[in-house]
Chains A and B, each alone.
Chain A
Amino acid sequence: DGGITQSPKYLFRKEGQNVTLSCEQNLNHDAMYWYRQDPGQGLRLIYYSQIVNDFQKGDIAEGYSVSREKKESFPLTVTSAQKNPTAFYLCASSRTGGITDTQYFGPGTRLTVL
C-alpha cells in the first residue's frame, strides 16, 4: 500500500539531546513537509522540500534541521536549541509541491521532553 510512515509513534527525549524523527513515503511525491501541532494552535510549518537536496524554512524553523538526500525520505532533527519541543509532529507529502496539490499526511510522532 502506498502511503507515508512516521517513526517512532512516541518518542521521549531528555533535555539537551538532539532527536531525529523519521518520515518515509512511497507515493513517488516530489514535495515533503514537516508540521508541528500543539493543542489549540493548529498546524505550523517547520520545513518543506519540493525537490531532492533542496528545502526551505517554514514559519517555525528555529531549533530544527532537515535533510532531503532521497526522494522518499525527509527526516527532521529536533535540536537542543528548540526551547519547547514537546509536541505532535506531522509529516506530509504532495505530488509536485504546487499549491493546488493535495497533501497526504503520516500518522504523526508525539515527542515528549522529560
Chain B
Amino acid sequence: AQSVTQPDIHITVSEGASLELRCNYSYGATPYLFWYVQSPGQGLQLLLKYFSGDTLVQGIKGFEAEFKRSQSSFNLRKPSVHWSDAAEYFCAVGEVGYSTLTFGKGTMLLVSP
C-alpha cells in the first residue's frame, strides 16, 4: 500500500530565505509524485509532478522538487520565499495499479518579514 509522510507540520521561513519541504513515501512499484499548494479556505493547485526521467522537476511559482529513489523522498524547494508563498503544501503519491492518489497530511508554511 502506498503512503506519504510529511514530517513537518509547520515551518517558518524568513522572506527571501530558501525553503525545503520534506516528503517521504512508501510504494510497491513506480511512484508518481505530486506537490499541491492550498491557500487558506481554497482548493488545491498543482505545483509540479514527477513520473519518470530527470529527477529534478521544475514547477510553477519558482518551485522545484527532486526525486531521490534511494531515500524514498520527493522534497520541494524554492531558493527565495515570498510572503505570498505562505500556504499549506501537500505531497501526494500515485502508483500503477491504483486509481487514486494518497495525500500527506500537509505542511503549513509561515513566512516571516
Contacts and interface: CB of A to CB of B under 8 A. Distances in A.
A107 B41 CA distance: 7
Interface string A18-52: 00000000000000010100001111110010100
A108 interface: yes
Per DSSP, chain A at the interface is strand
Interface stretch (B13-21, B43-51, B63-71, B72-80): B43-51
Given A40-B9, A99-B98, A4 B105 contact: no
Interface string B21-35: 000000000001000
B96 interface: yes
Per DSSP, chain B at the interface is loop
A90 B44 contact: yes
Given A42-B90, A42-B106, A99 B44 contact: no
Give the interface residue-count category, chain B.
Answer: 20 to 34
A48 B105 contact: no
A100 B46 contact: no
A40 B45 contact: no
Interface of A: 4, 33, 35, 40-45, 48, 50, 56, 58, 90, 92, 97, 99-100, 102-108, 110
Nearest to A40: B105
B84 interface: no
Among A56, A90, A99, A105, the most chain B Cβ lie within 10 Å of the Cβ of A99
Given A43-B103, A45-B100, 5 more contacts: A48-B100, A99-B96, A100-B32, A106-B43, A110-B41
